[in-house]
A = this chain, B = another copy of it.
């Protein structure tokens, strides 16, 4: 078992637990039992504890001292809040990318996007990741790629996105990339914000169509 490990055990356990969350083996809002996970992964409780602490730092798990750790229950309200944050941050992300990207990098992004559009296998999220990486702002990139997208994956694993939005997303992404190519940072930011705000509106509609069940869910706090 402990032959040679580049990444630390904590990181490996972190990945494994996150996989469990995405696969739904631990349901949203379910309890995260340290001892059970330690037994399952054949490691001690220490690494599991730290991995859970790491998940807590990523806001994927919430807990209080001596209380059971629980997987964050991503309500529609939570998702709306995340999308509001994304709208602001991704707007700035594409603004900075438009200002900072080299012509070569921009052309490469455009051609990669065209390829993905033909092959139909490139996930829509990849465009956002590429833009975040090209923003040149490591903190924005980390917030989007290392934190918010984890939550998005977790949410989509339970309730996939609207079926009609896939095609719209391609067209909206294409418009954003054209604005970037034209070096119009203001336009690129506006388009990106509208792009995300549209998804937020869909969530708002979802919330209204479900306003009969669990009105108390809006009062959840996300420990930091």
In chain A, positions 126-157 with a C-beta closer than 8 Å to chain B are 137-140, 142-143, 146-147
Given the complex, which residues of B lie within 8 Å of A66, measured CB to CB?
8
In Å, the complex CA distance between A137 and B221 comes to 10
In Å, the complex CA distance between A77 and B139 comes to 11
The answer on a CB contact under 8 Å between B81 and A146 is no
Interface string of A41-76 (1 = CB under 8 A from B): 000000001100110011100000110000000000
Question: Which residue on B lies nearest to A64, using beta carbons?
Answer: B8
In Å, the complex CA distance between A183 and B33 comes to 47
Q: Does A40 contact B (CB under 8 A)?
A: no
In Å, the complex CA distance between A140 and B148 comes to 12
Given the complex, which residues of B lie within 8 Å of A49, measured CB to CB?
50
Looking at the assembled complex, report how far the CB atom of A142 sits from the nearest CB atom of chain B, in whole angstroms.
4
Identical copies in the complex: 2
Question: Which residue on B lies nearest to A90, using beta carbons?
Answer: B88
Main secondary structure of the interface of A (DSSP, over half): helix
Size of the chain A interface, CB-CB below 8 angstroms: 35
Q: Known contacts A8-B65, A224-B142; is A87 also within 8 Å of B81 by CB?
A: no
Q: Does A84 contact B (CB under 8 A)?
A: yes
**The 6 nearest A-B residue pairs measured at CB:** A57-B57, A88-B92, A142-B224, A146-B224, A88-B88, A8-B65
Beyond A85-B140, A88-B89, list 13 extra A-B contacts (CB 8 Å). Answer: A11-B65, A53-B53, A59-B139, A81-B137, A81-B139, A84-B140, A85-B89, A85-B92, A85-B139, A85-B143, A87-B92, A88-B88, A142-B222
